[in-house]
Structure 1
Amino acid sequence: MAIKEGLRPGGRSARVQESIHSAVRALLEEQDRASVTVPQIAARAGVTPSTIYRRWGDLSVLLADVALARMRPDSEPANTGSLRGDLRAWGEQYLDEMSSELGRNLLRDIQCSTTPGLCTVIIGGQLQTILDRYPDQPQPSVDRLINLISAPTVFRVLFSAAPLEVEELHRLIEIALNQY
């Protein structure tokens, strides 16, 4: 899904979008992201730079769109058989992915998104999938889980010298589950 609304979900538009996204991903693997330019992306994707500017406006919005697409899960969160276990597995994977160099860059790019809240929708969907597995158990809200698991993880990844420790992540999950 492109950040700009109103694009057709299939056909030529989808093919062009995918070729541009693929070009961005390839260039980011080959060189430092600060040196990636719209003309490079356009040449790699086989489109004109004006195509990119018309759809995304500028490079930062395109990078945010690619980052958001990468944030979408490929599969459902791990099912360990317990709410606590599922949240731990999800939280550890999220911490590992976001604290990598790629993850930090994705988070920085997403900050430029012109669709505020989309990242929360993606993460919230993953957490809701976990909660839906255990309908008979008292459980925290998705917002509580985002506030106590995802938000501290992102904050530490972006603004601290070191990411959140796994033990601290587990303590935050316990806090989120307590009172329920």
Structure 2
Amino acid sequence: MTAKPRPGGRSARNKAAVFEAAAALLAERGHEAVTMTDIAERAGMAATSLYRRWGDVRALIMEVAVEKLMRERPLPDTGSLRGDLLAWARPIATSLASREGSSFFRAVIATTTPAGADGSLRRAALNRRSEQMELMLERARKRGEKAPDLVELLDHVLAPLYMRALFGRPLGKAVADRLVDRLIARPKRPPGG
């Protein structure tokens, strides 16, 4: 029988030290110049411990980025689906438009695995945010609002914002507003469609 890590125990302190070290190194050097050994040294730990837990630096960077996103940008609860979606999409659009913004976007791109490679670590890190988005949509349904499913939200709001950032197209609140309004106005797609 293995012991479960205690909240606030050594495991939590070690994870916090690793995340702090990784975030500092990412800010100093950028994702392409950070190694597992660098993070381990800064955190005062053995690199083998980091490899055992995260497997590679890409998985660790992704988890650090998601953790930062969850902490700094909690999903809103404004009382309406449109309000929630606007409060969620506008900061994404403005962050992607800023020169210093979007460390999360850069981390996602940097941690993209080659075709055919196992992307389970990245999916696991992103699942927490997906679960939050599902809750936001479910709240709207409980209020009697016609809410899209998660895939529609990703396809019609988030993906266009990231593609615009990737290709240097204009971004900002007006773009976010237009995408949200188009999503809300879309007819509900049939199940499995």
Match of 1:8 among 5, 9, 31: 5
> TM-score, structure 2 length as denominator?
0.73
Count matched residues. 174
Contact 2:137 2:148 in 1 (8 A): no
Find the aligned partners of 2:96 and 2:110 in 1 and give their Cα distance: 12
Matched with 1:160 is 167
Q: Which amino acid aligns with 1:8?
A: P
Matched with 2:143 is 135
> TM-score, structure 1 length as denominator?
0.77
Deviations 1:128-177 (A, max 9, x none): 325515612233223322221112112222x3123545333322212211
Matched with 1:105 is 106
Compute the RMSD of aligned alpha carbons: 2.9
- 1:55 CA drift (Å): 1.5
Percent of aligned positions with the same letter in both sequences? 26
Q: Which amino acid aligns with 1:105?
A: R
Deviations 1:26-53 (A, max 9, x none): 1122223322222221111111111112
Matched with 1:151 is 159
Q: State the SS of the aligned residue for 2:120.
A: coil
Deviations 1:68-102 (A, max 9, x none): 22232456533444322221121101222344242
Matched with 1:40 is 38
Matched with 2:80 is 82
Most deviating of 44-53 and 117-126: 117-126
Matched with 1:3 is none
Contact 2:164 2:171 in 1 (8 A): yes
Matched with 2:191 is none
Structure 1 segment 13-24 matched on structure 2, within 5 A: 13-24=11-22
**1:174 and 2:172 are equivalent in the alignment:** no
Find the aligned partners of 2:155 and 2:91 in 1 and give their Cα distance: 17
Most deviating of 124-133 and 138-147: 124-133
Find the aligned partners of 1:150 and 1:16 in 2 and give their Cα distance: 33
